[in-house]
Amino acid sequence: MTSVDARLAGLQAQARAVQPRTVALRRALHRCPELGLNLPQTRDAVVAALSDLPLQVHLGRSVTSVVAVLEGRRPGPTVLLRGDMDALPMHEDTGLDFSSATPGAMHACGHDTHVAMLASAARVLAEHRDGIAGRVLFMFQPGEEGQHGARFMIDEGLLDPSGPAGRPDSAFALHISSTVPSGDVHTRPGPVMAAADTIAVTVRGRGGHASAPHDALDPVPAAAAMVGALQTALTRRIDAHQPAVLTIAHISAGTTNNVIPETAFMEGTLRTLSPQTRTQLLEEIHRVCRHTALAYGCTADIAIGTGYPVTVNDTGATDRLEAVVDGTLGRGRIATMPAPIMGAEDFSYVLSEVPGALAFLGACPPGVEPYDAAPNHSNRVVFDEAAMASGVAVYAGLALDALR
């Protein structure tokens, strides 16, 4: 394991000292979740939390992002730390005292904790400014939940040499998880999360009376056949050593029990871990759906929504992250994931341009086993707030390690 600066050992105590601020900001954000790319209340809360720190703050133009820069006393490289800010469109059923007050919106993926941890990490790092050679770029990002917020920020110049802090030399992000033991960190080198694309297929036939299907062209059997044919294509056309998950999650057709509809609609997602498999399966989806529809006398309109690319951790950056966790939290708190997660993450846009790593911070609630905990994206998910101090320490440690 690579050696780590001895200063990291005291970071957890410093993170605990600012824990009341971390918790207060997290709960304020949790009560007022916002969706998508336009998060004005969240942006203003972040700006207020950073207002007394020696930071250069830049606001997004096309989205409500916040970029803050901490300049060290001496020149050096730039390290980027990311915290995403948006919530999910769902009702909260946790019963927490600080539950969402916004109908139909909930911080069910823990982005409120990410924002609070990153803001507190900025506060801790400001105390170490004299020992920093380089700069820290704090990336507070909207629109991670499918809206490509990171790409908007990159398009605005986040990673450009002429950007707010110049081109970053490394980049790191933590993602909280309720199904990992509290305070532990899980990561892996190489692919850590999948690419995700959406699939929407409209099967077109000819409507008619349910008693006379021979006078119609029923799109429902065609759509049903497509579901099985797509799964067969995945297992028969893709190397078994190339992970891929194709899920049709929504099918709809018709309006009543005695009418054959004119159209049937289905949609789902494709998740892959390599560009080659992704390209091949997208071609297979078009071929299978088109020809299956034709076999039933129908036609198919196929729309693919290009999602996030594969999230790939740089091996060297992952080694550094593991060393930093050892130095800040103590040995035995980090584990190597045996396999990637097939969910997707738009930090992949950053890691495709800058060497870095994403890791999962455990926050399983006290008294609950990880396998029994409500997972991220559940309407009942609860995170152990004590784990946020570990996240603050790791964020700060990553910056100090890179800029010592």
Q: What is the pLDDT of residue 8?
A: 87
> Could you tell me the pLDDT band of residue 91, with boundaries at 50, 70 and 90?
very high
Rounded average pLDDT over 271-293:
96
Per-residue pLDDT reduced to its tens digit, 154-198? 999 999 999 988 999 999 999 999 999 999 999 999 999 999 999
- Average of per-residue pLDDT across 14-24: 98
Cα distance between residue 402 and residue 404, in whole Å? 6
The pLDDT of residue 98: 97
Percent of the chain with pLDDT over 70: 99
What pLDDT is stored for residue 404 in this prediction?
Answer: 84
Q: Which residue has the higher pLDDT, 4 or 291?
A: 291
Distance from chain centroid for Cα 138: 17
Tell me the average pLDDT across 375-379.
Answer: 97
- Residue 4: pLDDT band (50, 70, 90) is low
Distance CA 284, CA 262 (A): 25
| Residues recognised as catalytic | 308, 385
Distance CA 209, CA 179 (A): 50
Question: Using N-to-C axis directions, what is the helix angle for 19-31 and 387-402, rounded to 10°?
Answer: 110
Q: pTM for this structure? A: 0.93
Say what the pLDDT of residue 1 is: 45
Catalogue all structural domains in the chain, each as residue range(s) with its CATH number: 6-192+311-402 (3.40.630.10), 195-305 (3.30.70.360)
- Residue 49 reports pLDDT greater than 80: yes
Per the listing, tokens 């995403």 go with 84
Q: How sure is the predictor about 2, in pLDDT bands with cuts at 50, 70 and 90?
A: low
**What is the C-alpha to C-alpha distance for residues 383 and 366, in angstroms, rounded to an integer?**
9
d(CA 5, CA 13): 16
Contact criterion met (CB below 8 Å) for 285 and 269: no
Tokens of 77: 């490289």
Q: Rounded to whole angstroms, how far apart are CA atoms 90 and 107?
A: 9
Tokens representing 190 are 């190489």
CA neighbours within 13 Å on the CB side: how many for 363? 27
